């Protein structure tokens, strides 16, 4: 019995070794096949002929800011020359750089397809603001990229007027204010134009004619619009919408309204230096803050002093 077991164990070991050897042969054969297949595939890819260029413009709006014919025109002779050329000889990175440099394009990508075509995918510019800067007029997107305004299209976006330089104050710096107004149904329907006199004197021009709003610097949106809402709700319906030429919320904790004495030439000016022009009785302030003053313990947030809250002197007849 022991001799028979030894014989069986010997046969099992031989079978196991043969099986391992067979597995190794199969594995080596597969590796060799893959190497050959990959080499052939790479050779085929390197010699693949381009069948042409496909252009996909992903424009979900009816504006048709960018058309595939315009993209083909920008590429010049490349479209015609690409067909029949080796597909690897076509520099897709260079095409991307050219297209992304076009102001009408938000983003462009270029890839080689397995069927021999080159696919160009284009996302058109998505304007979020129109800027009037002197004689220049242009749109910008969320990243501040510009596109010159063209008479053949018009985009209904917020309008900003002012002089902007790269070194001081740029139109893109107003984007948080524009986003805040756009997200609020009330102010989105009230504010028609944003006019920038300086980085600390941003004017909101409402659709309600007769006055402008000096918003100050483009910050503290919730606080400033809250005070402005109080003015619109409690004062203007009583005094009249054309009673003031300027309503200012630039100073902390209050609203300063400047009375209109005469017709004001456009553009409307900021709060006048003349103290008599300030209607103290309609200046709204937080609790414990006197009209014309800043919040208790805080200085006024302004480049110039707030008009003093003075009362007219009484006169007596001798």
Q: How many CA atoms lie within 13 A of 172 on its CB side?
A: 11
The whole-number pLDDT of residue 136 equals 86
The residue with greater pLDDT, 59 or 306, is 59
The whole-number pLDDT of residue 8 equals 52
Average confidence (pLDDT) over 55-79: 79
The whole-number pLDDT of residue 193 equals 94
- The contacts of residue 153 (CB under 8 Å, 6+ apart) are 63, 64, 65
| Residue 305 confidence (pLDDT) above 70 | no
| Residue 220 confidence (pLDDT) above 90 | yes
Q: Which of 1-5, 140-144, 194-198, 300-304 is predicted with the least confidence, judged by mean pLDDT?
A: 300-304
How many other C-beta atoms are found inside a 10 Å radius of the C-beta of residue 122? Answer: 24
168-207 per-position pLDDT tens digit: 788 999 999 999 999 999 999 999 999 999 999 999 999 8
- pLDDT bin (cut points 50, 70, 90) of residue 210 is confident
SS3 content of the chain, % helix, strand, coil (to 5): 35, 20, 40
> Phi and psi for 28 in degrees, rounded to 5?
-65, -40
> Phi and psi for 105 in degrees, rounded to 5?
-105, 125
How many other C-beta atoms are found inside a 10 Å radius of the C-beta of residue 20? Answer: 10
């Amino acid at each position: 019995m022991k001799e028979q077991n030894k014989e069986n164990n010997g046969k099992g070991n031989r079978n196991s070794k043969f099986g391992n050897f067979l597995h190794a042969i199969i594995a080596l054969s597969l590796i060799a096949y893959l190497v050959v297949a990959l080499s052939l595939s790479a050779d085929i890819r390197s010699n693949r002929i381009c069948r042409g260029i496909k252009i996909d413009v992903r424009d979900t709006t009816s504006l048709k800011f960018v058309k595939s014919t315009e993209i083909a025109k920008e590429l010049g002779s490349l479209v015609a020359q690409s067909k029949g050329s080796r597909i690897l000889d076509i520099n897709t990175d260079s095409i991307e750089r050219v297209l992304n440099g076009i102001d009408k394009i938000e983003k462009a990508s270029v890839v080689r397809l397995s069927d021999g075509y080159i696919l160009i995918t284009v996302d058109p510019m998505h304007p979020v603001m129109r800027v009037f800067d002197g004689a220049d007029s242009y749109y910008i997107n969320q990243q501040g990229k510009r596109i010159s305004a063209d008479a053949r299209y018009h985009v209904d976006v917020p309008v900003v007027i002012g002089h902007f330089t790269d070194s001081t104050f740029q139109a893109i710096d107003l984007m948080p204010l524009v986003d805040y107004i756009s997200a609020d149904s009330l102010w989105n329907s009230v504010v028609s134009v944003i006019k920038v006199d300086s980085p600390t004197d941003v004017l909101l021009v409402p659709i309600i004619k007769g006055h402008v709003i000096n918003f100050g610097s483009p910050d503290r949106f919730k606080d400033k619009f809250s005070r402005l809402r109080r003015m619109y709700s409690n004062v203007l319906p009583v005094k009249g919408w054309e009673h003031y030429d300027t309503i200012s919320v630039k100073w902390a904790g209050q609203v300063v309204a400047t009375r209109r004495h005469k017709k004001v030439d456009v553009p409307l000016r900021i709060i006048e230096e003349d103290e008599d022009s300030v209607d103290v009785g309609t200046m709204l302030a937080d609790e414990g803050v006197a009209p014309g003053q800043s919040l208790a313990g805080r200085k006024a947030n302004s480049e110039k002093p707030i008009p003093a809250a003075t009362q007219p002197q009484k006169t007596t007849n001798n």
